[in-house]
Chains A and B, each alone.
Chain A
Amino acid sequence: MTPRPRCTSVGRRNPMAKNTTDMSVLGPSSRITGNVRGGGGLRVDGSLKGDVTVGGPVEIGGEGTVAGNLEAESLDLEGSLEGDASTRGPIRVGPRATAAGTFRGSQVTIEPGARVALRLDCDFELDLGLRPTRRRR
C-alpha cells in the first residue's frame, strides 16, 4: 500500500529537490507581467504577475512575490504568493513567507511565523506529538 499524501502543520523541514543545471532565475530587480512556462526549475527573487507552469522545482525567495497560480514539481516559499499552488512534490512555506490561496501538494509544511490564509487540499495530519485518541467501534 502506498502511503497517502499528508500535511504536516509544523516542523520537519523537507529537503527540496534541487536541480541547478536547468534553473531559471528572476533577479531581485526584475518585474515580470505575463505567464511563465517550461520544463526546468525557477527561482523568483523579483516580482511576477502571472501564472507559472514549470516541470521543475520553484523557489520564491524572501524578496520574491508571485501573484498568480502556480504549477510545479515542488514549491519552496520564503516570499509571497497570492494564488493557488499545485505541486506533485512537497510545498514548504517558510517562517517569513506570506501566502493566500489553495495549496495542493504531496506534503505541505508551514513553518511557524508564516502568514497564511490558505485552503489546503490534502489529507491533514496534525503533528503535535499527541497520541492518537482511541476510536469507538
Chain B
Amino acid sequence: MAGTVIGEGLTIEGEVVTEEEVVVNGTVRGTLSSADAVSVGAGGVVEADIQASALSVAGQVTGNVNAQDRIDIQAGGRLVGDVKAARLTIADGASFKGNVDMEV
C-alpha cells in the first residue's frame, strides 16, 4: 500500500511534499512533490505542478510535470501541461496537450 493516499472525495489545497509513493483518487490543488512515484487514479484530479520519480495518469492532471524516470498517461487519462521525463508513454485513448522535454 502506498504511503500517502488521497482518497476519493478528499481535496487538498496547498503544498504536498513527501518521500513516499502517492496515490491520488481525490483532488490536489497547489503543488505535489514526491521522491517516489505518483499515481493519479481514474477519479483523481490534480491541478498542480508535480515533481516525482515517476508519474502514472489515469485521471486528470493540469500542470507541469517533472519526473526523474517516466510518465505514463493511461487510456482515459488526461494531462495538460509541459512534461519533462526520460521516458513518456501515451496510451491509446489518453489525451495530452503540452510540450515534451526528454533531455535528449
Interface residues of A (CB under 8 A from B): 22-42, 46, 50, 54
Contacts and interface: CB of A to CB of B under 8 A. Distances in A.
Nearest to B6: A24
Given A23-B5, A24-B26, A30-B4, A38 B18 contact: no
Given A24-B26, A29-B19, A30-B20, A35 B12 contact: yes
Contacts of A25: 2-5
Contact of B10 (A31, A34, A39, A50): A39
Interface residues on B, range: 20 to 34
Contact of A36 (B8, B12, B17, B20): B12
A26 B32 CA distance: 13
B15 A34 contact: yes
Contacts of B14: 32-35, 50
25 contacts: A22-B8, A24-B5, A24-B10, A24-B26, A25-B3, A25-B5, A27-B2, A27-B3, A28-B3, A30-B4, A30-B16, A30-B20, A31-B16, A32-B17, A34-B13, A34-B14, A34-B16, A36-B11, A36-B12, A37-B11, A38-B9, A40-B9, A46-B18, A50-B14, A54-B10
A40 B10 contact: yes
Contacts of B10: 24, 36-40, 42, 54
Pairs of residues from A and B, 8 with the lowest C-beta to C-beta distance, nearest first? A34-B14, A27-B3, A38-B10, A24-B7, A30-B18, A39-B9, A29-B19, A27-B4
A28 B2 CA distance: 11
Nearest to A22: B7
